[in-house]
Amino acid sequence: MDDKWLAALEATVRGEMDRVSQHLTRRVHALAERYETPLPRLAARVAALEATVNCHLERMGFSWEVTPGYKRSDIGVIPQEWEVVRFSKLFEFRNGVNADKDAYGRGTPFVNVLEIITKGHLKASDVPGKVSLPRSAVVSYAVRRGDLVFNRTSETQAEVGLAAVYLDDVPVVFGGFVIRGRPTTADVDAIFPGYAFRAPSVRSQIIARGRGAIRANVGQGDLPANRGCVAARVPNKKPSPRR
């Protein structure tokens, strides 16, 4: 009798443990899916999609009243005194350096994807990685004050092509998963691109150029393409009055 009772009790306990375990597993999976994408990333994605939809609606003839002091443009409503400028008119682009695995961990600081995703404005203290390169490579792949760096690849479409501007004089280089945009005109402010190139109107254009089934990617040719190239809203520079 005892053996039968104990066996039945053991089976009941095991069944209950399995039920609780399965319930917890399902709950963990549900929470993982629910919180897989952080809210700021979702908000940025929604803003980018909203900007894209608004541009399409404007081209189709749909319009709404524009606030005084603003005007319509190919990438949405902008201040009256601003203009839309193509990336190809402002920057020249280059892919980053690839080194042997033994070269990493010492040498010159190098900008990688994580730093760009984390911050829109970078200083040398934000760049922890290092790579040992010949002097000629350090010069060729140098990142100067005012240079833009874009991440070429991301696990999510929403983060591909994010940009950051370098605001330091300490020598750094940029890695193989990064694209450098070097200003070709003095009209580019050193700080403004760190904000402007993360704006929904710019992000929606870059995201649309992302390719890849598993990882989203953009190349240096996707940013300054002659047709349909990415554009940004830029304040017109006016000479300061002399005092």
pLDDT in tens, 31-54: 777 666 666 667 766 766 776 777
What are the Cα distances from residue 203, in Å, to 6, 30, 66, 97? 65, 30, 22, 25
- Given a contact cutoff of 8 angstroms between Cβ atoms, the answer to whether 236 and 169 are in contact is no
At residue 240 the predicted structure's pLDDT band, cuts being 50, 70 and 90, is very low
Rounded to 10°, the helix 200-208/39-59 angle is: 90
DSSP per residue, 51-117: HHHHHHHHHTT---PPPTTEEEETTEEEETTEEEEEGGGTEEEEE-B---GGGEEEEEEEE-HHHHH
pTM of the model: 0.65
Q: Convert the pLDDT of each residue in 154-204 to its tens digit.
A: 777 778 888 999 999 999 999 989 999 999 888 778 888 888 888 877 787
